[in-house]
Amino acid sequence: MRASSPGRAVGTHGRSSSKTDHPWFPHHHGPPIPAAPDGRPSLPRRLGSDRPMNRRTLLKWASALLAFASALLVAVPGWSFLVAALRRRSGKESVVQRVLRLEDLPPGKPVAVPIVGRKEDAWTVYDQQTIGRVWLVRRTGTDVPPEKARVDAYSAICPHLACLVGLDEQKQRFHCPCHEAAFDWSGRRVPASQLGHANPSPRDLDPLKCRVVRDSEESAWWVEVTYQRFRAGTERRILESV
């Protein structure tokens, strides 16, 4: 049996009982890591702390980083969707649209036309939907040249509680069936003396910008309306998004 060297005890498996743990690998047994030539601590000692990071700590940090990344992947699309939805809900102040050929609008007789555009329901947007209605009244006859024709436009939304205003041809007035508001064909409120009861509408019908334009391709004359929506129930016109 070979004798062991002086000052060194040999264990059962031939390992030295005088062992030095590696600062990065605590289960590694080897000689001490020498210091740098300039006397500074060795590189592993400079890069890490005196207490090395074990596997459990590393797994905790990795799990936390993974959880944060997962939450970020969920939050970013959700936030983008919310911001986009809020931007959509801010809407537009007006919609300019050609609604009817001038030749299809008889003089002196109101005609209702729809305004078509994007309609929003909560977070859903529908294209090519009716977003409003307008009453058109042609004030000039067919003997007047199209470029000099005069057409008035009124919102078909009642200023009282935002019901749709219909037409009472017998009395030649606009009529709201919800609460019996009435307006003449110039959009003015019918007074109580003629109506037989108080007119519930706080203001006249809301007038809209309207002009007659010529289509450059088909050379037809069209009625173009700038559609706007106003708040109901107020004496003053307060613009809302379309």
Per-residue pLDDT of 34-51, as tens digits, reads 555 555 555 445 444 445
- CATH code for the domain defined by 91-240: 2.102.10.10
| Single pTM value for the model | 0.63
Integer Cα distance of 134 and 151 in angstroms? 12
Domain boundaries, the chain: 91-240
Close Cβ partners of 180 (under 8 Å, ≥ 6 residues apart) = 195, 197, 200
Q: Using one digit for the tens of pLDDT, what is the confidence trace for 85-116?
A: 555 444 678 999 999 999 999 999 999 999 99
Report the alpha-carbon distance of residue 143 to residue 130 in Å, rounded.
Answer: 33
